Chains A and B, each alone.
Chain A
Amino acid sequence: MQIEYKPKRNLLETILQAEILKGLSLTLRRLFSKPITRQYPHEKPQIRLGFRGQHALVRDPETGDSKCIGCMRCAVVCPSRCIRIRPYKDKEKHGNRRLISEYKIEALRCVYCGYCEEVCPVNAIVLTEVFEYSSYDRPSLYFTKEQLLGNWDRFIAAKGIRAEDYVNPFWRPRGLPEHTLPAAKRQEVDSEWSGENQVVGRNWKKHHGAQQAG
């Protein structure tokens, strides 16, 4: 097969270097178009539903402690193995219930896939909308249980809603029938997250909108 690398030009196009002129006109048009830059530190991005940011352990309003039941599902499902839980049992006080003495997340190894919050049967762990938490040292990004609970408190305070009202869309995995979900996960999720209203970028919307119209 003959590959034509250069389209044929006539003499006039060769003399005027039509391709170069075309390129120049494109750059000139772009010069007067609106820049798409977001001036980041002055202008924050809009956080959409389903954003996966800093980790937090949900503080149970009743006990004041984490909701975690030490089932280890998150630690098992985590692809980067960055969750470390140490469960124990206190037979006298809590009977056969599993408690945790340690819950650590190594944020530097986390890939922010959100599997942990999807798999958690009691919605104990959550990836919040906080994304500005860089640090100059590693130990401060190796979150302990106290730090994770603190992350939750700060996140809820900054969001300005009651902790009971917050629902993370990942707490209800999509595509699973209602009866297969644990009770805690059968929650109403914002309509922007489920189905057609979901925002998946400008191009997706444009394409999808055109398809529905046509």
Chain B
Amino acid sequence: MAVIEAGVLRLVARSGDRLFRLLLAATAAAVPLVMGAILAALLSVGRPAIQRFGLAFFSTSTWDPVAQQFGVLPFVYGTLVSSALALLIAVPLGLGVAIFLAELAPGWLRAPVGFLVELLAAIPSVVFGLWGIFVLVPWVRTALTPALKGTLGFLPLFQGPPLGIGMLAAGVILAIMVVPFIVAVSTEVMRAVPTSQREAALALGATGWETTRRAVLPYARSGIMGAIFLALARALGETMAVTMVIGNVPQIKASLLAPAYTIPAVIANEFTEATSDLYVAALIYAGIVLFFVTVVANVAARLLVARVGRGVGAVRE
């Protein structure tokens, strides 16, 4: 009796294990499935625009819903330039903070500063946008623009009236929003650098900075590239804050002081007003582009960060 009972119990336990694992696996499989569903859904509704405009979608500037003509060149330009500007500001600053947090800061300062940077990432985009409209844009108009015009005003980058809203304001607010990602990932990869690398440099008489520059940064290089890609993906897809300060004018101007427009911003502003199917499809086509670009940037970022963990590219004994 007892033997049979134990056998039954074991059978129940084992099939319970199998069932449970199946349930967990099904939920885990949901994540890649949802990812596929997102792509399939976007493609199915965006198809009319893809078929109609093809690759010319990216090389034409006419965005005319009445004439049913859609080209996203100015939006692509605005997205790329505002993101590049953001990285130009955020990468040096973010790397500086990461070096500070991982290498040079006194121990008691690391946790609080790291936490405050995390909080910066937690502030909602729309709040940055609100702050952008009422604080940053007036500051750009009355302080930053005159200063830039006074020193670098001869450059085509700083021509035109000081509106405040425009590419420059968008770049600045994007920089503020993506810098926490650069800090978090770079700090993490620098901490992953084996202590022996630092000790070797220190033993040769290197100063703290020399250790960072010659031993830590080369080792962490691919991870830092990963951090930059991650920030780039964030900047490309950021919607609300940019929409609120960039001016939303689809034009390609050399001047950073001129208003511009981005892909996420045009989707945010026009999607609910898109009356024809082709109009909706064109906006979704733009969304598909955004999807692909950010997925590629994210995949690249993850692969680059993972390389540091495996120690690839490092000088090893």
Answer whether A and B are interacting partners: no
Binding site for B on A (CB under 8 A): none
Binding site for A on B (CB under 8 A): none
